[in-house]
Structure 1
Amino acid sequence: MEFCPTCANLLQVEPASAGRKSRFFCPTCPYIYTIDHKITKKERLPKKEVEPIFSWAESMKNAPKTQATCPACGHGEACFKQIQIRSADEPMTTFYMCCNESCRRDWRED
């Protein structure tokens, strides 16, 4: 897939015709790119950095705590938050963080 450098829309391909080479064109703006050679692009997208649900300092101060067993260390108490990440007719997702300072593992229950 190629994208327009001007407006970022997906470029469309116009095949070669009488005396003219194949080309990419943007359906929105006047951008045109003539294809002179075979295009091979194997570019990996960078992994997006994931923002944590909890920060350790925030969890210990503000988040409520509950009786939940940590899957990593077996500690019996965890901080939790509930967030609606799916459609409104689905139940909320509960995110936990182990209260054991040496563990701090986080997990979720859908």
Structure 2
Amino acid sequence: MEFCPSCGNMLQYELPHMGRPSRFFCPTCPYVCHLENKVKIKRRQHLVKKEIEPVFNKEDMKMGGSETDATCPSCSHGRALFSQVQIRSADEPATTFYQCLKCEKMWRED
């Protein structure tokens, strides 16, 4: 990663084009750094995907959920358990989590 010496923004890399050598350029100011040699990537960082923990698991829904009329998007069954939680800011509406009583698929409505 290279940064612009004039404004401090991250420089973008541009491939060689029509006889012009490859270069780093700043997207906000006129700074350009032409490269004469090939660019070598020194180290690759492999990103590991973090496991996502569900807000509700099936046991939580069975213990604390209430039944309602809701159509399951998977099996079209008409009854489901639901529970509402405020997971965003206070001025946003609550998120409703559903679990189908037939196939036990979980979904949410924001």
TM-score relative to the length of structure 1:
0.55
Q: Any conservation in 2 of the 1:82–1:93 contact (CA below 8 Å)?
A: yes
Query: Alpha-carbon deviation of 1:94?
Result: 0.9
Query: Alpha-carbon deviation of 1:108?
Result: 1.1
User: 1:63 corresponds to which residue?
Assistant: 65
In structure 2, distance between residues paired with 1:98 and 1:78: 4
- Provide the secondary structure at the position in 1 that maps to 2:77: coil
- Provide the secondary structure at the position in 1 that maps to 2:49: coil
User: 2:77 corresponds to which residue?
Assistant: 75
In structure 2, distance between residues paired with 1:104 and 1:53: 16
Q: Any conservation in 2 of the 1:70–1:98 contact (CA below 8 Å)?
A: yes
User: 2:105 corresponds to which residue?
Assistant: 105
Q: Any conservation in 2 of the 1:54–1:97 contact (CA below 8 Å)?
A: no
Query: Alpha-carbon deviation of 1:39?
Result: 5.8
In structure 2, distance between residues paired with 1:60 and 1:99: 10
Find runs of 4+ consecutive structure 1 residues off by over 6 angstroms: none
CA deviation profile, 1:16-58 (whole Å, cap 9, x unmatched):
xxxxxxxxxxxxxxxxxxxxxx663332321111112332233
User: 2:91 corresponds to which residue?
Assistant: 89
1:45 partnered with 2:47: yes
Opposite residue 84 of structure 2, the aligned amino acid is Q
Q: Return 5+ residue gaps in structure 1 as ranges.
A: 2-37
- Number of matched pairs: 72
Opposite residue 87 of structure 2, the aligned amino acid is I
Q: Return 5+ residue gaps in structure 2 as ranges.
A: 2-39
Query: Alpha-carbon deviation of 1:87?
Result: 1.6
TM-score relative to the length of structure 2:
0.55
Opposite residue 109 of structure 2, the aligned amino acid is E
Query: Alpha-carbon deviation of 1:109?
Result: 0.8
